[in-house]
Amino acid sequence: MSFRTWVTRLSRQLSGENPFTGGDLLPSRVSLFGAGGPTLPFPHPWNYKEPIKIFEAFYTGAEKETGAGARHNRYLYLAGLPPVLLTRDPAVIKAILAATGDKPGQFDRDTGPTAGIARATGVDSLLYANGAVWKRQKRLSAEPFSKSNLFQPEKFHGFEQTFRRTVAERLAALRAHLQATGQKTTRLRLEPEIQVVMLEMLVNNFFGAAVSREELRDRYVPALVHLIEHMIIDTVAPRLHALRCRLTGRDKVLKQYAADFEALTDIALSGRAEGRGLWCQFESDATNDALRANVRVFLAGAMEATTSFASWALSHLSRTPAIQEQIFSEVRDMNAYDPDNLAAAVTLNRVLEETLRLTPALYFFPRRATVDTTLEVGDGKRMFIPDGTCIRLDVWHANRNEEFWGEAVSGHRADVFAPARWDVLAAKGITSRDMLHFGFGHGPRFCPGRYLGLLEVGLVVGAIVKMFKFTAAAEKTDPCAGVSTKPADGVWVDLESRE
């Protein structure tokens, strides 16, 4: 940004100009220090662990706004910087996601919120790259991640067998514990167990490796968990974080975790030459070094996202025993978790859809306007978005807004877990394609891991319900958000064997 551009922008900001003037949908301005908000409407070292509250701060006072779009589309414009637009309007979110791509004038992914991830994994990844680099990587990933490939019976059963073996070991350990203590139930956190299962299926099934559960649990999962936390603060305050790590000696610990991450990446890549796992579906002359960034992103990101998805589903079920029993009735006689059987488990699938709606792992999508753009929204209205605008598509609050998902639309309040809302919508002839919850994004940058995530989480949730009854240890749990969202209590439950 040139000095002249900065001065021009600053003068317009001081004059109170709305940079979005020119369309039917006119976003309203957010006060930087407005009273009553849960926090300041931008990340800093003291609130970076509460991004959902940062987004919530944008809507402080929004209920007083009038005019189409003013309540759900809000912006910050200050300090000579480009405007920041936050939207919870599903029509605007859908339109921007659909207009994201590598063509001139389309929206790019805003790489600012993933700068820390890029420093830890590499900039040439499907997550971080834009333009032609992203387009090529998307094409390469299409076949291995496709539904037709992942849901082939022989591939699907490989995931199922890994999961069954792991769960059988955990079930034996739980039974031994209960017998030793003489108790009927035991209290534990499910999230750490889920992390190991998810990484095991990724490493051993997807990449065709053979890493023991113990090594995954004791070495690789802790490395990924700590590095993901590092990526977040390294995005918000990189210099301050680097200084603190040097002063506390944590930089040495991070180097060891990074070395473990590299070792796991080597393991994942080692099956490529022999076509093990789903490498047999990958056709490219790219070197292993050229693929490292994507493999790193996949290992950390897929474990994080699927753990979030499964953890939230189980957390919701731990507070809804009646729905838990409905799923049990669907899976109790299911001897093979093949695609057809899982598709027939209607309640389980409703739970997965509702989990993605109410508590999405991907709670926002960052985008950036590359030119002055007049966006066509589905209802015929238009929004003008100036070049350089940083856009935050706030899926979390869009999915919890009563106007879009509430009783008048779905028969249930928007802020409650109610899988039955999907039956109400179906009765109206409305499908999940019509009512987008954006759980895996939308448009050209749709998450390629959708079918892998549904496969893994369907296996985990279905099998755990089949083997255990579980009740939440606390009355409620708040969300914890970073790279993804998770239950803050780690899914703290009282677990009882059904057998």
pLDDT digits (tens, 9 = 90+) for 282-315: 777 888 898 899 899 999 999 999 999 999 999 9
Separation between Cα atoms, residue 370 and residue 306, nearest integer Å: 32
Least confident of 165-174, 191-200, 322-331, 464-473: 165-174
59 contacts 105 by C-beta, under 8 angstroms: no
Grouping H, G, I as helix, E, B as strand and the rest as coil, residue 375 is: strand
Instruction: Give yes or no for residue 271 having a pLDDT over 70.
Output: yes
What was the pLDDT predicted at 145?
64
Grouping H, G, I as helix, E, B as strand and the rest as coil, residue 26 is: coil
Q: DSSP letter at 279? A: G
Give the pairing type, strands 373-376 and 382-385: antiparallel
pTM above 0.75, yes or no: yes
Q: Which residue has the tokens 């998810």?
A: 198
Separation between Cα atoms, residue 89 and residue 93, nearest integer Å: 6
What was the pLDDT predicted at 144?
65
Separation between Cα atoms, residue 71 and residue 250, nearest integer Å: 44
Q: How confident is the model at residue 56 (pLDDT cuts 50, 70, 90)?
A: very high
Q: How confident is the model over 86-110, as pLDDT tens digits?
A: 999 999 999 999 999 989 899 999 9
Averaged pLDDT, 264-278? 91
Separation between Cα atoms, residue 28 and residue 31, nearest integer Å: 10
**Partner residues linked to 469 by β-bridges:** 496
494 contacts 186 by C-beta, under 8 angstroms: yes
- Could you tell me which of 185, 94, 45 has the C-alpha nearest to residue 472? 185
Residue 149: φ, ψ to 5°: -85, -50
Q: How confident is the model over 128-166, as pLDDT tens digits?
A: 888 888 888 777 776 666 666 656 666 667 777 777 777
Token code pair at residue 177: 């514990």
375 contacts 85 by C-beta, under 8 angstroms: no
Give the pairing type, strands 390-394 and 84-87: parallel
> In Å, how far from its chain's centre is CA 11?
38
What was the pLDDT predicted at 399?
97
**Percentage above 90 pLDDT, the chain:** 52
What was the pLDDT predicted at 146?
63
28 contacts 62 by C-beta, under 8 angstroms: yes
Residue type, 393: L
> In Å, how far from its chain's centre is CA 89?
19
What was the pLDDT predicted at 217?
94
Grouping H, G, I as helix, E, B as strand and the rest as coil, residue 61 is: coil
Query: The domain at 137-362+438-497 falls in which architecture?
Result: Orthogonal Bundle (1.10)
Residue type, 93: I
Range with the largest mean pLDDT of 25-39, 58-72, 476-490: 476-490
- Residues present in the chain in total: 499
Q: How confident is the model over 313-348, as pLDDT tens digits?
A: 999 999 999 999 999 999 998 877 667 777 889 999
What was the pLDDT predicted at 450?
83
Buried b (16+ CB within 10 A) or exposed e, 94-132: bbbbbbbbbeeebbbbbbebbbbbbebbbebbbbbbbee
**Share of the chain residues as helix, strand and coil, in percent rounded to the nearest 5:** 55, 10, 35
What are the extents of the domains in the chain?
Answer: 3-110+369-374, 137-362+438-497
What was the pLDDT predicted at 1?
66
Q: Which residue has the tokens 């912006």?
A: 75
What was the pLDDT predicted at 150?
58
Q: Within 13 Å of residue 125, how many CA atoms lie on the same side as its CB?
A: 23
**SS3 assignment for 431-482:** CCCCCCCCECECHHHCCCCHHHHHHHHHHHHHHHHHHEEEEECCCCCCEEEC
